[in-house]
Structure 1
Amino acid sequence: MNNTPTQTSQTKEITAEKDSQNNLIKMDSSDKPSFYDFYLDEHQNMACRRLHFAGSSFGLIGLAKSVKNRSAKPLLKGIAAGYACAWVGHFFFEKNKPASFKFPLKSFASDFRMYADVLRGNLSLRDRKFDKVR
């Protein structure tokens, strides 16, 4: 059977498959964990999450200052401060290797998704028992 991805969402993938009479059937493979699930597993420690949140904030402040001043320097400083915070969180608190080493783009996107989930109240910076994601 022909299995081709037709749509990818944040948490599940819909695939199209043809049946014996060559009719197209949509299939949901939501049991497959997403990269974001892996990313959250790598961020269980609250100090690490807090450092990521602070680092992302530094990056956004750097972006805003860069736009305001029409200079790349604040953005570069914000990015450096952001990654420094995240890496301290991983090496000293989470005791794992940052996912950005293997998956830089997916990790960057997942970091801002995690940032948004914290702002929306879906992820806690106090205790995992208050998490609403998953």
Structure 2
Amino acid sequence: MHGLKPYRTLKEFYPFYLSKHANRTSRRLHFVSTTIALVLVIAVVVTQFWWLMLAALMQGYAFTWVGHFFFERNKPATFTYPWLSFLGDFRLWWEILTSKTRF
């Protein structure tokens, strides 16, 4: 696994996840991207326009990867830990929303 620790739980993984999101602009881009993706998922449920799920998935990663490649200058953890990174995105989103993590 490329010498990386094989994380099994979000609790184990989250400190590593946060280390990949130290840049404030990157965290802001993650927050915006996750918010737009959530709004699109709600739109899918309300409108039954299932193609919006593809837009939600694409949007969920669009700004976040800009944050990684241009501000963090690191490889997104989702490339190695897709499920835990997905969960980490929502935990970070919640922590920003509730002011636990700086926006």
TM-score range, shorter chain: 0.7 to 0.9
2:81 aligned partner: 103
What's the Cα RMSD here?
A: 1.5
Aligned equivalents of 1:114, 1:123: Cα separation in 2: 7
Structure with bigger strand share is 1
Contact kept in structure 2, 1:62 and 1:79, CA below 8 Å:
no
1:92 aligned partner: 70
Contact kept in structure 1, 2:17 and 2:77, CA below 8 Å:
yes
With structure 1 as the length reference, what TM-score do the two structures score? 0.68
Structure with bigger helix share is 2
Aligned equivalents of 2:76, 2:9: Cα separation in 1: 24
Report how many residues are paired: 96
Aligned equivalents of 1:76, 1:124: Cα separation in 2: 30
Give 1:23-102 correspondences, 5 Å limit.
Answer: 34-102=12-80
Higher relative contact order (CA 8 A, sep 6+): 2
Gap regions ≥5 residues in structure 2: 1-7
Contact kept in structure 2, 1:45 and 1:94, CA below 8 Å:
yes
* One-letter amino acid of the structure 2 residue matched with residue 55 of structure 1: S
Shift of the 90–10 alpha-carbon distance from structure 1 to 2, 3 Å rule, reads closer
Shift of the 10–83 alpha-carbon distance from structure 1 to 2, 3 Å rule, reads closer
Aligned equivalents of 1:107, 1:68: Cα separation in 2: 27
Give the superposition deviation at 1:66.
0.3
Tell me the SS of whatever aligns to 2:83: helix
With structure 2 as the length reference, what TM-score do the two structures score? 0.87
